[in-house]
C-alpha cells in the first residue's frame, strides 16, 4: 500500500472538515496540522496565500433561475383556483425536463398527481414527482438562510405562505409559489395565480402578473416564516 492509496481525496477532504464543531480534540488536531504546514511551507500560513484568498472569495450570485411559468387557472380539472401547489410542482417538473414546458405539460403533471391524492397534500406532490424520476424534499421548518442557500445553488424552491390579511399578521388559506431568485429587497417569484398585493393580502391581478413578480422581504417573509423558522417549502433533485 502506498501513500496515494490512503491519501484524502478532494471530496473526502471537504467532507472531513464538514464535521468540525470546535471540540477540544478537533482543535488539537488542527493545531498539529498547522505546525506540520509551518515546517513544510510557512508561506501557506499567511493571509496572502492563494488558498486563503480563494477561501474568502465572494461567489457571484447566480442569475434568476430559468423555469417555465405555469398559470394554475389553466388546469383542466375544474379545480384550477385551488391548484397552486400542483402548479408550483409542475413548474419544478418542467424545469427538470420531466414534463413539457407548456399547458399540456402542466396538466400532464396534474393528472399524475391526481393518482396520489389531493392537490393540497404534500404527499400527493411527492408521489407525482417521484414517479417522474425526481427526488423531492418537503419541509415545514424553512428559514430565509436555507432559502438563499438553495437559490445560490441554482435550485428553485416552492414555498407555501399565508396570503390573507395584512403582512404584519397574516391569516390562513395558504398559497404556493415558486421562488426563482432574490435581491436585497425581496424574492422573485413565479406566482401561479397572479400578482398578490403582498402588503394587504388581496390580489392585484388574478390570472396575470405572476410571471417573475417581485415580492418584498418586508411583506413576503412574515407570510412564509410566520413564527420564525417554520417556512413550508419543497424542492427537487434528480
> What average pLDDT is seen over the chain?
93
Write out pLDDT tens, residues 116-166: 999 999 999 999 999 999 999 999 999 999 999 999 999 999 999 999 999
- Name the 3-class secondary structure at 149: helix
Topology given in CATH for the domain delimited by 72-237 = Cathepsin B; Chain A (3.90.70)
- Tens of pLDDT, residue by residue over 16-45, are 888 788 899 999 999 999 999 999 999 999
List the chain domain ranges: 22-57, 72-237
- Give the tens place of pLDDT for each residue, 83-97: 999 999 999 999 999
CA-CA distance, 90 to 10, in Å (whole number)?
Answer: 36
Q: Within a 10 A sphere around the Cβ of 106, how many other Cβ atoms?
A: 29
Does 10 or 86 have the greater pLDDT score? 86
Neighbour-count burial for 200-235, b at 16+ CB within 10 Å, e otherwise: ebeeeeeeeebeebebeeebbbbbbbbeeeebbbbb
Contact 106/90 with Cβ under 8 angstroms?
yes
Continuous H helices in 72-182: 84-95, 103-114, 122-131, 144-152
Grid coordinates standing for 124? 400527493
Dihedral sign for Cα 47, 54, 57, 14, please.
negative
Amino acid at each position: 500500500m502506498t501513500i496515494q492509496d490512503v491519501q484524502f481525496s478532494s471530496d473526502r477532504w471537504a467532507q472531513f472538515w464538514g464535521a468540525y464543531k470546535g471540540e477540544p480534540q478537533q482543535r488539537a488536531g488542527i493545531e498539529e496540522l498547522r505546525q506540520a504546514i509551518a515546517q513544510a511551507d510557512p508561506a501557506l500560513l499567511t493571509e496572502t496565500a492563494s488558498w486563503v484568498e480563494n477561501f474568502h472569495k465572494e461567489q457571484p450570485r447566480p442569475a434568476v433561475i430559468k423555469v417555465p411559468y405555469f398559470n394554475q387557472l389553466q388546469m383542466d380539472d375544474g379545480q384550477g383556483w385551488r391548484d397552486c401547489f400542483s402548479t408550483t410542482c409542475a413548474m419544478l417538473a418542467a424545469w427538470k425536463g420531466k414534463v413539457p414546458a407548456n399547458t399540456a405539460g402542466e396538466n400532464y403533471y396534474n393528472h399524475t398527481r391526481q393518482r396520489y391524492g389531493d392537490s393540497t397534500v404534500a404527499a400527493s406532490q411527492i408521489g407525482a414527482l417521484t414517479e417522474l424520476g425526481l427526488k423531492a424534499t418537503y419541509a415545514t421548518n424553512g428559514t430565509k438562510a436555507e432559502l438563499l442557500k438553495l437559490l445560490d445553488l441554482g435550485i428553485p424552491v416552492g414555498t407555501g405562505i399565508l396570503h390573507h390579511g395584512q403582512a404584519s399578521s397574516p391569516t390562513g388559506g395558504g398559497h404556493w409559489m415558486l421562488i426563482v431568485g432574490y435581491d436585497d429587497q425581496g424574492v422573485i417569484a413565479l406566482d401561479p395565480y397572479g400578482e398578490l398585493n403582498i402588503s394587504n393580502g388581496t390580489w392585484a391581478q388574478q390570472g396575470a402578473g405572476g410571471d417573475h413578480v417581485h415580492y418584498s422581504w418586508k411583506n413576503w417573509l412574515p407570510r412564509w416564516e410566520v413564527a420564525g423558522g417554520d417556512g413550508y417549502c419543497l424542492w427537487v433533485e434528480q
